Each structure stands twice: as structure tokens, then as C-alpha cells.
Amino acid sequence: MKLKNDVATSESGFVFNAARGESFTTNPIGVDIIRLLKEKKEIADILESLEQQYEIDAATLEKDLYDFLKILKQYNLLEE
């Protein structure tokens, strides 16, 4: 799972796809996930990092993460 090179993000949750000229906003958890993707972390590492940060059970976290990644893919923000 890799974020496209031409996707720029800010700490405030603003996401900009420079190739398509599309912008999105996300919440602080989304910002964390995108940052971890940018650091080229594997899914397991992202899950572990989020589990440490947020009070959430592993199953819900995993489901929510995959939902979020699906949205990123749908919006053309992830490499194929």
C-alpha cells in the first residue's frame, strides 16, 4: 500500500492530489494513517501504531483502517 508521489498532505488534514487537482480533508486519525503510509509502513505496522495511540479494539481498528484505505484508493490517492 503506497501513497501516490504527487499527493501532498498537511498536518491540518488537507490532502491534495497534484496530478488530478483534487483536494480532500480528513480527521486527525486520517492524518496519522496518511503520515504512516508516507513513511512506507506496512499495514501491520500501521495497525500497531494506531492501537498504541487510540483506545480501540483490534478488530474494529482493522476494519476501519481497511475502510479508510478503500476510500483513499477510490479517490485515486494510492498506487495501484
Q: What are the residues binding other proteins (CB under 8 A)? A: 6, 8, 16, 18-22
Radius of gyration in angstroms for the set of CA atoms belonging to the chain, rounded to a whole number? 12
Cβ 19 to other proteins, closest distance in Å? 4
- Return the number of the residue (50 or 77) whose C-beta is nearest other proteins: 77
Q: Is there a contact between 9 and 15 (Cβ–Cβ < 8 Å)?
A: yes
Nearest residue (CB) to other proteins, 22 versus 45 = 22
- In the complex, what is the shortest distance from the CB of residue 21 to other proteins, in angstroms, rounded to a whole number? 4
Minimal CA–CA distance to 61: which of 70, 71, 75, 49? 49
Beta-carbon-side half-sphere exposure of residue 1 (alpha carbons within 13 Å): 21
Of residues 15 and 65, the one with the C-beta less far from other proteins = 15
